[in-house]
Structure 1
């Protein structure tokens, strides 16, 4: 058994003790291997990958352009192992030279592993995003809105609501409001609506005031989703937006109850989404809808600010 395999198996066992919903640790992606040693001789490792998003990539709306991502393999080690690996990461960045301003260091770790949190905070990383999951029957919620499926003919309406969410999120999370955001969003949403992606509009007096834009994703062996979620067919909540003047009256709750029922009807085992803990709206709304954090994405921008 190789050292890497041993670290993966030990880490899988620890993850299972922290949160039984976490999938087994998968082989890390291709990249540069970083290792570190603890005072007792225990060794930990990580794989560092670099990605530069193309200027026209929609990923630049929620990400820095240049991203350095570390996948830790700590085995059974926890806070001490994370601290040692982050120190080694900082040294590796020093060897690479100054980072671009539009850059970030990113690391994803189980949300319930509180022991690792201190090391992550001490090295300047911030919990900007969580992957949250929900596995519960859809509640029966009534309200004054009329909810209908969005179609390609609704593109401009959907775009307006999605951009409202993007502008707000850019103040309180990892989202970046790029100069070409309108065209990037229009192109992506047009493709999703044309493909029949599940999206719903809530209307009051015939005017759309809220959007839930979703997808159905399968977690199966070998694909990227399986590294984050148990195997099965999952509903993905990509964007929920309620216009400011329509907030606070239960419209979002009614819309999501409808979306949850429809996604369950499509045979999903649960739903998941990304939200920003610093967001004062989503950090309250989503737990009330039955979501709880599974993974936390820790980040520091620019990449050179890693301590």
Structure 2
């Protein structure tokens, strides 16, 4: 586990895309023509700061997992939704499929939680697809509980 840097951009974007593509199967998430470009722009900006709030897990030199969080100073858009302040926002968590179930995701989250604690975050918020068979149990094991649930019906494709 380590803090990511700009050299990890391609791997970080690839893991963001993998998470989006998996979520697309079980939620209203849809990859669009510009999804990769948008991820690249957002991730490049997140990695360009002195101490990015992006952590990666490596195995044999390959990036196999990523966690990207917005520190409380950048999460004001989300903060009014909870009484606890300040709040951080967990924007992405993804582990390569062949490495899931081995504790990589939990280790990444512990690293992100430690950073949020050091920054004085009173809460960490995230979005996830309730119907995702991997996401809901994982976040529950990490201590997260829903604030609200949205159910959507999308037209068949």
TM-score, structure 1 normalization: 0.47
Tell me if structure 1 keeps the 8 A contact 2:58–2:64: yes
What is the rounded CA distance, in whole Å, between the counterparts of 2:152 and 2:21 in structure 1?
20
Counterpart contact for 1:210–1:252, Cα < 8 Å: yes
Q: Does 1:270 align with 2:123?
A: yes
1:241 alignment partner in structure 2: 94
Whether 1:214 and 2:69 are equivalent positions in the alignment is yes
Structure 1 residue 179, shift from structure 2 partner: 2.1
- TM-score normalised per structure 2: 0.88
For residues 60 and 7 of structure 2, what CA distance do their matches in structure 1 show? Answer: 19
Kindly indicate which of the two structures has a greater share of residues assigned to strand.
1
Three-state SS of the structure 2 residue aligned to 1:276 is coil
- Equivalent in the alignment of 1:149: 3
Measured against aligned partners, the alpha-carbon deviations of 1:248-305 in whole angstroms (never above 9, x if no partner) come to 1111111111111121111111211111111000011000000000122333335xxx
Higher RCO, 1 or 2 (CA under 8 Å, sep at least 6)? 1
Instruction: Report if aligned partners of 1:197, 1:215 keep a CA contact under 8 Å in 2.
Output: no
| 2:16 pairs with 1:162 | yes
Gaps of 5+ in 1: 1-146, 303-307
Structure 1 residues 226 and 201, CA gap change in structure 2 (3 angstroms): closer
Q: Kindly name which structure, 1 or 2, has the bigger radius of gyration based on alpha carbons.
A: 1
Aligned CA distance change for structure 1 residues 218 and 299 (closer, same or farther; 3 Å): farther
Cα distance change, pair 262–226 in 1 and its aligned pair in 2 (3 A): closer
Q: Against the structure 1 CA distance between its residues 246 and 226, is the aligned structure 2 distance closer, same or farther, given a 3 Å change threshold?
A: closer
Contact 1:161/1:211, CA 8 A, preserved across alignment: yes
Distance between the aligned counterparts of 1:216 and 1:290, measured in 2?
19
| Residue 200 (structure 1) aligned to one of 55, 66, 79 | 55
Q: RMSD over aligned Cα, in angstroms?
A: 2.0
- The answer (yes or no) to whether the contact 2:3–2:52 under 8 Å persists in 1 is no
CA contact (8 A) 1:234 1:272 kept: yes
Instruction: Measure how far apart 1:224 and its partner are.
Output: 4.4
CA distance in 2, matches of 1:217, 1:211: 19
Taking structure 1 as reference, are residues 265 and 227 closer, same or farther at Cα in structure 2, changes over 3 Å only? closer
The secondary structure found in structure 1 opposite 2:33 is: coil
